[in-house]
């Protein structure tokens, strides 16, 4: 019985890992998406681009980026002269801005371990 549950858990983890959903918003001020927030299936990474005027946050953009490259330090746009950072992440809706997130696979794994211990 434990072998069957373990195999089902492993297959479930593979299914969850292959399906990445990213939050998308073209223009977000604070936590409010002005252009309407959506989710999108993604084959790359979720990314967040944050812009600043000095140390004051201006706006951000959330998207799915197949070739996301995070910036190691703040960059400056040559045309608009604003600073920006790019961050990449690879879990479902990791760019949503929530501070505490529990992945589905971790939650399912914890429940299954509890059930196995109870048997």
Q: In the prediction, which pLDDT does 40 show?
A: 92
- Average pLDDT value for residue range 28-39: 88
Looking at the predicted structure, is the pLDDT value of residue 81 above 50?
Answer: yes
pLDDT of residue 37: 85
pTM given for the model: 0.64
What's the pLDDT band for 2 if we cut at 50, 70, 90?
low
Task: Give the Å distances, CA to CA, from 46 to 19, 79, 90, 108, 114.
Answer: 12, 25, 6, 23, 31
pLDDT, tens digit (0-9, with 9 covering 90-100), for 55-74:
899 999 999 999 999 998 89
Report pLDDT digits (tens) over 16-32.
Answer: 445 699 999 999 998 88
pLDDT tens track for 90-105: 998 899 875 344 455 6
Q: Token pair for residue 20? A: 């990445």
């Amino acid at each position: 019985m434990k072998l069957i549950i373990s195999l089902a858990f492993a297959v479930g983890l593979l299914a969850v890992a292959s399906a990445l959903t990213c939050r998308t918003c073209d223009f977000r001020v604070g936590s409010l998406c002005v252009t309407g927030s959506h989710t999108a299936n993604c084959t790359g990474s979720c990314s967040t681009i944050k812009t600043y005027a000095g140390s004051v946050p201006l706006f951000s953009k959330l998207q799915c980026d197949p070739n996301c490259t995070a910036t190691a330090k703040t960059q400056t746009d040559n045309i608009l002269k604003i600073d920006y950072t790019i961050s990449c992440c690879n879990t479902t809706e990791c760019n949503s801005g929530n501070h505490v997130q529990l992945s589905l696979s971790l939650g399912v794994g914890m429940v299954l371990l509890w059930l196995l211990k109870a048997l």
